[in-house]
């Protein structure tokens, strides 16, 4: 929740601090913090970045975060896995970042990115170039497979709900099933989405690209988990199934019977 001035100030001081910090070899600004993502930046934008550590110094450099700008105003910090970190400032601004050696990020997929600090060998630029190539190569979708996985997650989620595991079942419905539904819609109707879609997570900015369907899906999920499951199941069939031989109709009908959804509204 930062003004443009506050965001830019943090960016500039982050760059300066990384360049000055002994043992840090590079810095990559990601997402809306990068130059390519600047047009998407708003008051809710976080700072996402990779801070690259010299090889062999990971454990040492991950022990302290005092190099962050305004580190005295950080009210919360936590680790996400071995190399991921998050820091929250007193004004609610968030830093999400990997603090890692380049070798620990081999295979990472990279979207919008700006290299603002690097060592003489260009290790950071090479890492980003490889990550962006992987993102481009992996920017493919299989709508038939996502439609199938959507149905599987609905069935499993409802099974959990029916045995009393409402929280876990709801997660299957609202998170994993919907994730596959949105991916299937993007792949099935690519003409509805701009070329600037997120290559890493096709579910991002779905509301902007498919506003009507996004509203319907949001409304469908605004119900108890079992109702939400049937709601999105019905929507998925209405959106995806017509004029598409790839939709697993027989499976959808079998799942509806298994769940007692004998009549599926259209």
Q: What are the tens digits of pLDDT across the range 154-182? A: 999 999 999 999 999 999 999 999 999 99
Q: Decide if pLDDT at 59 tops 80.
A: yes
Q: According to the model, what pLDDT value does residue 138 have? A: 56
Q: How many CB atoms lie within 10 A of CB 254?
A: 13
Q: What are the tens digits of pLDDT across the range 3-40? A: 888 999 999 999 999 999 999 999 999 888 888 888 88
Q: Decide if pLDDT at 73 tops 60.
A: yes
- Predicted TM-score of the model (pTM): 0.75
Q: What are 194's two structure tokens?
A: 């701009």
CA-to-CA dists, residue 8 to 13, 47, 105, 154, angstroms: 9, 10, 26, 43
All structural domains of the chain with their residue ranges: 4-137, 143-258
The arithmetic mean of pLDDT across residues 118-124, rounded, is: 84
The arithmetic mean of pLDDT across residues 231-254, rounded, is: 95
List the CATH code of the domain at 4-137.
3.30.460.10
């Amino acid at each position: 929740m930062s003004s443009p001035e506050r965001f830019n100030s943090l960016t500039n001081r982050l760059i300066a601090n990384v360049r000055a910090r002994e043992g840090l070899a590079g810095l990559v600004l990601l997402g809306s913090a990068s130059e390519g993502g600047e047009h998407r930046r708003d008051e809710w934008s976080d700072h996402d970045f990779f801070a690259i550590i010299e090889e062999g110094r990971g454990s040492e450099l991950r022990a302290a975060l005092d190099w962050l700008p305004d580190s005295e105003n950080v009210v919360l910090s936590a680790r996400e896995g071995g190399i991921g970190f998050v820091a929250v400032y007193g004004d609610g601004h968030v830093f999400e970042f990997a603090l890692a050696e380049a070798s620990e990020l081999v295979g990472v997929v990279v979207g919008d990115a700006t290299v603002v600090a690097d060592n003489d060998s260009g290790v950071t630029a090479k890492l980003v170039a490889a990550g962006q190539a992987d993102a481009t190569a992996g920017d493919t979708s299989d709508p038939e497979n996502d439609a199938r996985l959507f149905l599987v997650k609905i069935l499993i989620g409802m099974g959990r709900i029916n045995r009393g595991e409402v929280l876990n079942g709801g997660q299957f419905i609202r998170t994993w099933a919907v994730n596959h539904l949105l991916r299937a819609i993007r792949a099935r109707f690519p003409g509805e989405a701009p070329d600037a879609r997120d290559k890493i997570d096709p579910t991002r900015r779905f509301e902007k690209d498919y506003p009507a369907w996004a509203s319907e899906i949001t409304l469908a999920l605004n119900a108890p988990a079992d109702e939400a499951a049937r709601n999105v199941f019905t929507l998925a069939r209405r959106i995806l199934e017509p004029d598409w031989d790839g939709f697993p109709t027989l499976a959808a009908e079998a799942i509806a019977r298994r769940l007692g959804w004998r009549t599926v509204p259209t």
